[in-house]
Structure 1
């Protein structure tokens, strides 16, 4: 089946109604049931697309938050390493305690 055949199979029933395509093959009751199922499926597809869009937006927010937290944790580690190299023992201990509080808060 070629791509144009698939497109015609999908869109002709939607353009003209399912009765246009299957009128002679099935009775009216079956055609009505198919039309009802198609409408329900179209509603579900629309809901799915809306939910998918919201999930994509939420994923962007999560990526942004992750980048910010990673940046802050890296900065905190650099500061902590700098403090370890340049301060005396007493100042280092007090500063490390403060840095640990900040790290716990960020985590």
Structure 2
């Protein structure tokens, strides 16, 4: 699961943190009662996971890694046609640590 997580999450912790600070990252996804989307909260957790050593991972951490891998795979299969650089589809994936354009959060 750790290797699959590493493949699914192609943004560094620093790139993901910068992305999560941007307004675009807050505009996508399903929101819970706190006003933060599930994906945005997941992104913050992903940064924590990326900074942990393998031996520090808990069962909950591994379960979240599995959730991230599943989300990224499902959404990559649903790629819309046309330019996705400034699309909600891309922004949602980036909240989960995957930039389908591979540039770590640059837009435009």
Does the alignment reach a TM-score above 0.5?
A: no
**Structure with more helix by fraction:** 1
Higher relative contact order (CA 8 A, sep 6+): 2
Q: What is the TM-score with the length of structure 2 in the denominator?
A: 0.28
Larger radius of gyration: 1
